Structure 1
Amino acid sequence: MAVIHATKENFDQLISENPLVLVDFWASWCGPCRMVAPIVEELAKTFEENLTVLKVDVDENQELARRYGIMNIPTVILFKDGEKSWSEIGVKPQKFYEEQIRQSL
């Protein structure tokens, strides 16, 4: 499944309707966010059967960023069955995210 660009209008529905959701909170001006972007894209392909991947632009969706206490970007959050399972701030290797996702499957 392709990465979905989520907004406040569809975010809650996407989180509640999908059992495992990875959310990348980012901004276009953020250098580290551009480093995480291809990793997130690859995770969407690798786990396409089991994982929904969302991107939330914090500049366009400040309400969502506030709701989840996003103070630094990139912040990646994994939701399992609608509940926050784990989160990570900054850039990590792809294998780190893969391990976290596999533990939640």
Structure 2
Amino acid sequence: MSQHFFQKKAVFIRDEDFDRLIGEYPLVVVCFVQSRCDLSRRIRPILNQLANDYFPQVKVVKIDLAKYKQIGERFQIDCLPNIFYFKNGQRMNNLVGLLPDEVIRNKLEELL
């Protein structure tokens, strides 16, 4: 995926791109969502702003669990939205639910 692919907003990725992406970029924020979930729709502007503000240092992506159920099972995701932070290929922590922008940013800032 090109650098341009990530500019301006958090993009959806496929589950088959997940492991490569996590290994390729030093800091990745992954938000697991579901297309028909109201909270998943409401977190979209927060993720897009995060992607824009931290580009190119941080990659912000989304995975739709309605399409890719296996990855949800892999990480035992029960609640949405669910945000995972990966640094150098390792899962560092995660946040669950629709949280304020500053909470999501503070967790990211801890990893920079």
Identity percentage of aligned residues: 29
1:3 shift after superposition: 2.2
**Higher relative helix content:** 2
User: Once superposed, what is the RMSD of the aligned Cα atoms?
Assistant: 0.9
* Equivalent of 1:74 in 77, 81, 93: 81
Q: Which TM-score applies when normalising by structure 2?
A: 0.89
Unpaired segments of 5 or more residues in structure 1?
A: none
Deviations 1:22-44 (A, max 9, x none): 00100111111111111000000
Question: Following the alignment from structure 2 to structure 1, what is the Cα–Cα distance between the partners of residues 10 and 43?
Answer: 13
Equivalent residues in 2 for 1:86-97, closer than 5 Å: 86-97=93-104
SS at match of 2:19: helix
Aligned length: 105
* Equivalent of 1:25 in 25, 32, 35: 32
Q: Which TM-score applies when normalising by structure 1?
A: 0.95
Report the counterpart of residue 54 of structure 2 in structure 1: 47
Unpaired segments of 5 or more residues in structure 2?
A: 1-6
